[in-house]
């Protein structure tokens, strides 16, 4: 028997830079992307307002987490120039511990943060309550208009 599932997707767009210190080609140099980050939430039923959850709940839940990537440079903490970049650009350098900030790694980081934020939001009394049955299904990070990476558990 087929299971009924409702899904919503919230997309956040931002300008984000990175450098991939393990990459053998041009991606080892600082460069940027216009990224779209998609978060897909699912539930088998709709709430009293006929929604999986309110889109505003997603924004409240995530706070400034994804926004920190906008106009920032993501770097592997093992990169030999990481400390210099961090000293000069401060919080505009986003550390990725011992990993290159590929779209795959970024999708996993956003997924883990969003899942924890979802769990915390269920415990809080807020304007847009989130039901226990709502699950974060996947996070997709678009690096270009034709290339994306996705993470789910």
Give all domains of the chain, ordered by start, each with its CATH number.
6-151 (3.30.479.10)
> Left if phi > 0, otherwise alpha if psi is -120 to 50, otherwise beta: which for 98?
left
CA nearest 103: which of 28, 18, 10, 41?
Answer: 18
* Predicted confidence pLDDT, tens digits, the chain (153 residues): 557 799 999 999 999 999 999 999 999 999 999 999 999 999 999 999 999 999 999 988 888 899 899 999 999 999 999 999 999 999 999 999 999 999 999 999 999 999 999 998 887 767 788 999 999 999 999 999 999 999 999
DSSP 127: S
What three-state secondary structure class fits 84?
A: helix
CB 6 within 8 A of CB 52: yes
Predicted pLDDT at 121? 86
- For strands 135-144 and 93-96, give the pairing: unpaired
| Mean pLDDT for the chain overall | 93
The pLDDT tens digits of the residues spanning 24-41 come to: 999 999 999 999 999 999
The pLDDT tens digits of the residues spanning 100-118 come to: 999 999 999 999 999 999 9
């Amino acid at each position: 028997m087929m299971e009924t599932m409702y899904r919503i997707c919230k997309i956040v767009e931002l300008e984000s830079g990175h450098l991939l210190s393990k990459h053998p080609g041009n991606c080892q140099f600082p460069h940027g992307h216009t990224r779209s980050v998609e978060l897909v939430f699912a539930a088998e039923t709709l709430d009293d307002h006929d929604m999986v959850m309110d889109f505003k709940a997603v924004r409240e839940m995530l706070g400034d987490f994804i926004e920190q990537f906008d106009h920032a440079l993501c770097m592997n903490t093992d990169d030999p120039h990481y400390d210099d970049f961090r000293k000069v650009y401060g919080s505009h350098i986003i550390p990725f511990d011992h990993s290159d900030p590929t779209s795959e790694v970024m999708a996993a980081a956003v997924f883990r943060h969003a899942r924890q934020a979802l769990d915390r939001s269920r415990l809080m009394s807020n304007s847009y309550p989130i039901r226990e049955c709502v699950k974060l299904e996947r996070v997709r990070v678009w690096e270009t208009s034709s290339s994306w990476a996705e993470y789910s558990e």
